Amino acid sequence: MQSIIVSIIAAIFSVGYFYLWHTPVQVAELSPEQSVEMATEQPKEPLSETKKSPPTKTQVFLGSVKSAVEPSIAKPTILIDTYITSGPKEGEVIEDKNQVTFGFEATVSPETTQNRIIFETKVEGFDKNWQETSSKQRVIILPVGSKEYTFWVRAKINNVIDKTSAGRTFKINISPYFGKVKISSADYQTSSRPSLVTLNTYLGEEKINITGWQIRGKRGIFIIPGGIENYNPYYNPVPDENIIAKRGDTIYLSGAANPLGRGRNFRPNKCLGYLTNYYNFPISLPLNCPKAKSEEISHLNPCCQEFILKLGSCKIADYSNNLKISTDPECVAYLNENFNYAGCYIKYSQDKDFIWANWHIYMNTNIVVSDDCDTLYLRDQNGLLVDKYSYGRSICR
């Protein structure tokens, strides 16, 4: 009896299951269009496991299963820092040279970074572009004059550049004549000679006015005055001409007084040696006055010709003890007209080589040059350095 009841219950459940899952959709509840779609729709095939989207690297899998996409390894960030180790200080004014040298270094993090460090430098106000170098130093020769510059340096490695360049601002303040006129020697005063400073020029076709320049030592200062380019024997007031230095000139500055009168600084010429017969020149003059040629004196009597040809260069004719000459009016007149500075000047002053390539300047003081260790400074009219010269014992240099 019990088995019959179990069988009936099982049958009821089977019928109910079939009814629930296989009952057709009521067509009356659907629109005509929906009815068509339902009638024509084909059942879709379920997706298999192999068509699933791959998990992203953020998916987490349980157990020992690893991520389908391995995470990338981040490269370490390279940090580079550039700094200046030597050279002009910030704001420094350089007055004694136009060459500067900067040293620089760089640190890199991490320290294990491979490849060599390269530096790029630039002088603002001088360079147009960055200058690349593997050296840790740069020597720069800047134009003379007065100008401010800024030196920049930055390091780079593996295409990584220090974005904060190291820099220093400085100023070159030297004369535009720097290197064009130089002090070549300085002799101090002794019992037998005055002090003497010698300058030499290194010019092209340029001419330089040195009137108003100053030369200074620890004992004193001298300002270069005016001078006489062409010393006239007939008219020589206190000169107001500027002293003009040219290519190849040698300029002498003596501590003695001027034998021609205070302020009468001059260029020697090939006749000026005649004045040594009357004056003592502390700066020696060349005794190479032009001599008479035989054809020029052929009209004079033989005794006069012989006397003239035997005369020393730049010597005034002394015929007082020679009756054959002193009693010959024509000979005496020729001697007096030609063998002295005035006669020589008239005859030869138009020659291209009449004036010599030097200046004789008399300072009338020995305070500039010391008999001890010292440095002389030559400055132009604006007080800018032209040259400096150290002298004395070797320990001073």
pLDDT in tens, 260-276: 998 899 999 999 999 99
- For the question of whether the overall pTM of this predicted structure is more than 0.85, the answer is no
Secondary structure letter of residue 178 according to DSSP: T
Whether the CB-CB separation of 143 and 98 falls below 8 Å is answered with yes
pLDDT at residue 15 in the model: 45
With 60 as the cut, is the pLDDT of residue 48 above it?
no
Whole-number mean pLDDT of the chain? 84
Going from the N-terminus, what domains does the chain have, and what CATH number goes with each? 79-174 (2.60.40.10), 176-268+355-392 (2.60.40.1260), 289-353 (no CATH)
pLDDT at residue 27 in the model: 39
Beta strands (DSSP E) in the chain are 79-86, 93-94, 99-109, 118-124, 131-133, 137-141, 145-157, 160-161, 166-174, 181-187, 196-201, 208-209, 214-217, 220-223, 244-245, 250-254, 358-362, 374-379, 385-391
| Alpha helix positions (H), the chain | 2-22, 32-40, 302-309, 323-326, 329-338, 341-348
DSSP-assigned beta bridge partners for residue 150: 124, 169
pLDDT band at 29 (very low <50, low <70, confident <90, very high): very low
Residues 6+ apart with CB under 8 A from 299: none
Identify the weakest region by mean pLDDT among 87-91, 158-162, 199-203, 222-226: 158-162
pLDDT band at 20 (very low <50, low <70, confident <90, very high): very low
What percent of the chain has a predicted confidence (pLDDT) above 90?
A: 69
| Interval 181-209 mean pLDDT | 95
Whether the CB-CB separation of 243 and 265 falls below 8 Å is answered with yes
Q: What is the DSSP string of 4-17?
A: HHHHHHHHHHHHHH
pLDDT at residue 128 in the model: 95
The Cα-based distances of 362 to 39, 221, 252 in angstroms read 131, 14, 8
| Interval 167-189 mean pLDDT | 95
pLDDT band at 393 (very low <50, low <70, confident <90, very high): low
The token pair at 190 is 């002794």
pLDDT at residue 12 in the model: 53
